[in-house]
Amino acid sequence: YGFMPFYPGPGLGGHCIPIDPWYLTWKAREYNYHTKLIETAGEINNDMPNYVISRVMEILNKEGKALKGSNILMLGIAYKKDIDDYRESPAIPILEKLQNAGAECTVVDPYVKEYKYKNKIEIPVKKLKLELLKKADLVLITTDHSDFDYQEIMNNSKAIFDTRNAYKLVQNNHTNYYKL
């Protein structure tokens, strides 16, 4: 009763889970308690975008590509599936790190029309089209929305990095499919 499973992914997002544990840690220190498990979990979760970038570089290297100049198609900017909320989304620091490394990134999210980057720049989100899939050196799934046609994505992608295990229910025979 009331069980809600959580699965590994590219990091935590939303307005409470990434922030509230740090408040609890701060409050516990007032009473001389040390919350090592919460702090360690927070550090691991905060570092997941860096881990994703490192895996993206490994995958592109296997494909004979460098990160700089590669074309990355990011599927999802929302912090979890089937919503339009991108607050504290791990996809945003991943996108920022990819762009800072010289990758050309396109974001597709059926729930988010545009998002504010660093609270000032509004960035439009594209619709998923066949030409975007075929052009991408790597499709990076950062949000496993139900609206994505995962079979079509698989059939038309050079390489896929699935950080959300979106293909757990899809026949997967892609030779260049990578999981988190």
**CA–CA separation, 108 vs 121, rounded Å?**
17
Catalytic residue, chosen from 16, 19, 41, 44, is 16
Phi/psi at 167 (nearest 5 deg)? -95, 15
The phi-psi region of residue 119 (left if phi > 0; otherwise alpha if psi is between -120 and 50; otherwise beta) is left
> Residue 17 to residues 24, 37, 46, 150: CA-CA distances in angstroms?
11, 15, 12, 28
**CA–CA separation, 51 vs 129, rounded Å?**
28
Q: Are 132 and 106 in contact (CB under 8 A)?
A: yes
Query: What is the DSSP secondary structure assignment for residue 66, as one 8-state letter?
Result: -
105 is catalytic: no
3-state secondary structure 103-168: CEEEEECCCCCEEEECCCEEEECECCCHHHHHHCCEEEECCCCCCCCHHHHHHCCCCEEECCCHHH
By annotation, the residues acting in catalysis are: 16
